[in-house]
Amino acid sequence: MEVRARILVLTEDSGEQAQPTLQKLLKEALKLVDPSVDLNPNRIRLEPLPENERALLAVRANQWKEQPPTIEAIRLLELIATRLVEPAGFVVFHFDTDRVWAERHNSENRQKFETIIRERVRRILRGDVPAPRFGPQRPRPTLTAEQIEMALGRLLVLSPCYSIESWLYQATKEVLAYCQERHDSEAHVLRIQSWSADRKLLDEISRPKHEALTCVGDLHNEALAKAFPAEEVWLAERSFFESVERLRACSALVEALGYGVRSAAARAEGHGPHEP
Ligand SMILES: [Zn+2]
């Protein structure tokens, strides 16, 4: 089976639930981009960094925003650049906007991602940055300006407003159950019911896990991701929609995901790739 996409999945959240939580949300986003997508991991591979990879330190704990870059950040930028020029290579980077939807344009994280991560990866791809003194020294192909921008187009962002919990708390039935396990709060029940009635509201809640619903916090993120009502939240046209539509704007990704439909159609016509 041919690998159509090898997606390096990076999340600024640490902890055991962070990676499976993000992967689940990403899969839901990919299904919205292409409802026919075949998410067989042999076809669409979601790959975290290994736990012993020191570049993880740069992804987590906001270290990627530091200027000048730390040694771990330099390593991270190299790994991103390498993945973007590999066949079927993509990078999905999750960071929180740390702003509500109405304030998203003032998000320091969003600005710094573009000026620090994307711009530095661009310089690496241009060959403006000397090769680092660590890791395997793979010769990088010389790319045209157009090829560099195409590679950078495969560096994709998931940036929830305000934070990842703003998406996860959309699993309102499950959130309500967790809240009620902890205490009896009428205010919380009303709050959660309002989020369920209007899927736009959560994007305007500041610091959801630290202020709005400390009873739930981030204790159940992986379970909430499994119950995430992706289509409903997408229809609200807030930060989840924005992130899904950014994925959709990447034609290389759309092409990789759409393989299932086209190959099935080709098989029906008696030609095209044959499955083992
Ligand atoms: Zn509560």
Q: What is the pLDDT of residues 179-207, one digit of tens each?
A: 999 999 999 999 999 999 999 999 999 99
What's the CA-to-centroid distance between 185 and ligand 1, angstroms? 6
- The predicted pLDDT at position 274 comes to 45
What's the CA-to-centroid distance between 184 and ligand 1, angstroms? 7
What's the CA-to-centroid distance between 158 and ligand 1, angstroms? 27
What's the CA-to-centroid distance between 199 and ligand 1, angstroms? 19
The answer, yes or no, to whether residue 74 has pLDDT greater than 50, is yes
Mean pLDDT of the chain: 92
Structure tokens that stand for 30 in this block? 């990919």
**Nearest of 53, 22, 52, 26 to residue 39 by alpha carbon:** 26
What's the CA-to-centroid distance between 214 and ligand 1, angstroms? 7
- What average pLDDT does this structure show over 67-80? 94
- The predicted pLDDT at position 106 comes to 97
pLDDT category at 132 given cuts 50, 70, 90 is: low
- The predicted pLDDT at position 141 comes to 73
What's the CA-to-centroid distance between 189 and ligand 1, angstroms? 7
What's the CA-to-centroid distance between 219 and ligand 1, angstroms? 13
The answer, yes or no, to whether residue 269 has pLDDT greater than 90, is no
What's the CA-to-centroid distance between 41 and ligand 1, angstroms? 37
What's the CA-to-centroid distance between 193 and ligand 1, angstroms? 12
What's the CA-to-centroid distance between 183 and ligand 1, angstroms? 6
The answer, yes or no, to whether residue 275 has pLDDT greater than 50, is no
The answer, yes or no, to whether residue 115 has pLDDT greater than 60, is yes
The answer, yes or no, to whether residue 113 has pLDDT greater than 90, is yes
Looking only at the bridges linking them, the beta strands covering 5-11 and 89-94 are parallel
What's the CA-to-centroid distance between 94 and ligand 1, angstroms? 27
The answer, yes or no, to whether residue 146 has pLDDT greater than 60, is yes
- The predicted pLDDT at position 12 comes to 95
Q: What string of DSSP letters covers 25-92? A: HHHHHHHHH-TT----TTTEEEEPPPTT-THHHHHGGGGGG-SSPPHHHHHHHHHHHHHHHSTTEEEE
- The predicted pLDDT at position 266 comes to 58
The H-assigned helical ranges of 169-238 are 172-182, 186-197, 221-226, 230-235
pLDDT category at 272 given cuts 50, 70, 90 is: very low
- Percent of the chain with pLDDT strictly greater than 90: 85
Answering whether pTM is above 0.95, one says no
- The predicted pLDDT at position 61 comes to 73
pLDDT category at 248 given cuts 50, 70, 90 is: very high
Residue owning tokens 């290579």: 89
The answer, yes or no, to whether residue 131 has pLDDT greater than 70, is no
What's the CA-to-centroid distance between 221 and ligand 1, angstroms? 15
Question: Near ion ligand 1, which residues have CB within 5 Å?
Answer: 179, 185, 188, 215
What's the CA-to-centroid distance between 172 and ligand 1, angstroms? 12
Q: What is the pLDDT of residues 46-63, one digit of tens each?
A: 999 999 999 999 999 788
What's the CA-to-centroid distance between 142 and ligand 1, angstroms? 55
The answer, yes or no, to whether residue 77 has pLDDT greater than 80, is yes
Cβ-based burial of 51 (10 A; exposed 0-12, middle 13-18, buried ≥19): exposed
